[in-house]
Homo-oligomer: A and B are copies of this chain.
Amino acid sequence: MNRTMEKRGKQQRGLETQAALLDAAGRVFSQKEYDGARLKDISEEAGISLGSLYFHYGNKEDIAAAVLEVQQERMTEVLAGIMTNSESSLTRLLDLMDGIAELIASDPLVQAGIRLVSSLPEELKDSGHAPYGEWVGVTETLLKEGIEDGSVSSQIDLKVLAEYFNEVFIGAQVLAGIQDNWASLPDRVRRLRPHVVAALTRTDPA
């Protein structure tokens, strides 16, 4: 083991612990909301002492914030992946919906982020973690591009279209969450697709 390894090893351990804790936090926060989640459950789930949890994350709010941050990152990754393919904006929007659905269904940490949003203490709600705000921005942008490239009908107000799109998607998320911990979300989204396409391409003033 050379010096580089040694050095990396030292810091590595801490990073591994942090990752394990974050993962465990994801699993716990995906099952219980903020107040209902126990830090002890997280530390035990991670197989790491409670004291260590506090060494890496200063308190309960901080670890919840870390979960939200990673959720953001992972969703942004999916977004970035979708954006690189050069299809129509409508397709991109639908692919995005699929991609996020897939992510949610497979990633407890992302599920945790969803759960946390509605149960955070006031202080955290402000602090920059406004996933829906950002998300709405993305959908509106894609729809605007869709209108420009003709893949989306221009006869309905952009805001209203985005609102509809988001309501449908969020509704699917919520019901999938209740029904089977989001396992059914990808299928739900697939079944949703025709309705969404119809709504976004309608030519009569719906």
Contact = CB atoms under 8 A, between A and B. Distances in A.
Contacts of A117: 178
A: interface residue count bin: 20 to 34
A195 B164 contact: yes
Interface stretch (A19-27, A29-37, A63-71): A29-37
How many copies of the shown chain assemble into the complex?
4
Contacts of A128: none
30 contacts: A32-B35, A33-B33, A33-B36, A33-B118, A34-B36, A35-B35, A36-B36, A36-B121, A115-B118, A117-B178, A118-B174, A118-B178, A119-B119, A163-B175, A163-B191, A164-B195, A167-B168, A167-B171, A167-B172, A167-B175, A168-B168, A170-B175, A171-B174, A174-B174, A194-B206, A195-B195, A198-B198, A198-B199, A198-B202, A198-B206
B175 A166 contact: yes
A129 interface: no
A178 B163 CA distance: 13
B33 A119 contact: yes
A60 interface: no
Mostly, the A contact residues are: helix
A169 interface: yes
